[in-house]
Structure 1
Amino acid sequence: MATTSEEVWRILGELAEAQKETKRQAQETERRFQETERRFQETERLLRQQNQQFNEQLGKLGNRLGEFVEWQVRPAVVRLFQERGIAVHEFHDGIAVQRGDEGIEIDLLVVNTTEAVLVEVKSKLTQTDVDEHLERLSKFKRLMPRYGDVQAMGAVAGMVVPDEVARYAYRKGLFVMAQSGDGVVILNDDRFQPQSW
């Protein structure tokens, strides 16, 4: 069967139309892909922003919890250490010391003329918190030389103090303070001998 020139032109026209339709569909697919990519990037940006806001709010909540615990511990520290035979009579809170490129921050410093207890307060106490406090204690007299002649001791306090963390702090020679009912107590038994720095 012979193909006429009209049929060839008709077939070529159909092919050209099919090619145009394929090109149009490819362009539409590309446009949709770009729109999806744009929406994905916008969603990713919004998620990052929400995550940052969440982290900021969580940080503020953590700070508020820390402040709450500190306010729970503060009125009891002098009395609790006096009951342990450490005749402290004053406390200072929120101490920050910077000497050169080295510094420390002390949540509560309980002192008399011969003894000082550095208290680190956390909402939930961790072993890392204990280790950081031990480091702080090792720097204390060097960074605060006016306390160079006192017997420095350490204490950690928390609203939540896991048993293994309390045992770890005890073995490191730190007093361990925790929430108990409406107040705060020292968890260390009467045999406990604090480490001195």
Structure 2
Amino acid sequence: MTTTPQEVWQLLGELVQSQKETDRKFQETDRKFQETDRILNQSKQDTDRQIKELGKQIGGLGKKFGSFTEGLALPSMETILRDRFGMEIISPSVRASKQGQHLEIDVLAYANGDINTAYIVEVKSHARDEAIEQLKNLLERFPVFFPEHQHKKLYGILAAVDLSSTMKERTLKEGIYVASIHDEVFELDTPLDFRPKNWQV
């Protein structure tokens, strides 16, 4: 069967039209992909922003809870430090800076004269392994930041709302006093034969 020139032109026209339609569909698909990609990117940015904001809020709650615990501990720790150890000066939230280094102490207490002793209290809502290392680090660095107290005896107290028996034993072995909460009041929780470590010998 012979194809006439008119039929050839007609076929070519249909092919060109079909190609145009295919190109249009490709462009439409590409546009949809780009739109989807834009929406996904926007959604990711929104999610990242929300996660960041949530992180800030959680961090803020943590700080507030920490401050609440320290506030809860302070009155009873003041009583212990004054009545049991004879401390004259008791200062909460002590911050010191020296040569670009920083030190933060939850409670610092000291007495001059015959007693000539200082105590560093670290307050935790939940005491974990790092709490002991953190307090030891404070005790070891204390003389550098407070040279005026370098001739005093220096002791540490870990005060915690939640303290496991294992953590208590580890803390006492390091020569650090333990204070735990009973009926919303912190009390020393150390055996009679406990010998505290003087960190400034």
Counterpart in 2 of 1:79?
Answer: 79
Q: Choose from 160, 168, 171 the match for 2:170.
A: 168
1:153 alignment counterpart: 155
2:197 counterpart of 1:192:
no
Aligned CA RMSD, in angstroms, stands at 1.8
Cα distance in 2 for partners of 1:3, 1:191 equals 114
Q: 1:59-81: per-residue Cα shift (whole Å, max 9, x none)? A: 11111111111111111113334
Counterpart of 2:108?
A: 109
| 1:35 Cα deviation after fit | 1.0
Instruction: Output the CA distance in 2 between the equivalents of 1:5 and 1:51.
Output: 68
* Cα-to-partner distance string for 1:90-126 (whole Å, 9 max, x where unaligned): 3101111112122211110122221211011222222
Q: Which residue of 2 aligns with 1:14?
A: 14
Distance, in Å, in 1 between the alignment partners of 2:164 and 2:39 is: 45
Separation (CA, whole Å) in 1 of partners of 2:122 and 2:29: 60
Within 5 Å, give how 1:93-108 maps onto structure 2. Answer: 93-108=92-107
* Structure 2 length-normalised TM: 0.88
Distance 1:16 1:158 in 2: 81
Alpha-carbon spacing, 1:177–1:10, altered in 2? closer, same or farther (3 Å): farther
Q: Once structures 1 and 2 are overlaid, which stretch shifts more, 173-182 or 137-146?
A: 173-182
Report the CA distance shift for 1:13/1:55 in structure 2 as closer, same or farther (over 3 A): same
Identity, % of aligned pairs? 27
Matched with 2:137 is 135
The separation in 1 between residues aligned to 2:189 and 2:40, in whole angstroms, is 53
| CA distance 1:26–1:100, change in 2 (3 Å) | same
Deviation at 1:154, TM superposition (A): 0.9
Q: Which letter does structure 1 place at the counterpart of 2:144?
A: R
> C-alpha displacement at 1:57, in angstroms?
1.0
SS in 2 for 1:173: coil
Distance 1:9 1:178 in 2: 96
- Secondary structure class of the residue paired with 1:195: coil
**Could you say if the C-alpha distance between residues 184 and 23 of structure 1 is closer, same or farther in structure 2, counting changes exceeding 3 Å?**
same
Q: Report SS of the residue matched to 2:37.
A: helix
Q: Greater CA deviation, 155-164 or 2-11? A: 155-164
Paired residues in the alignment total: 196
* CA distances 1:123-173 after superposition (whole Å, capped 9, x unpaired): 222212321221111010121011111111112223333443333322222
**Secondary structure of 1:2's partner?**
coil
Letter in 2 for 1:5: P
1:23-62 equivalences in 2 (<5 Å):
23-62=23-62
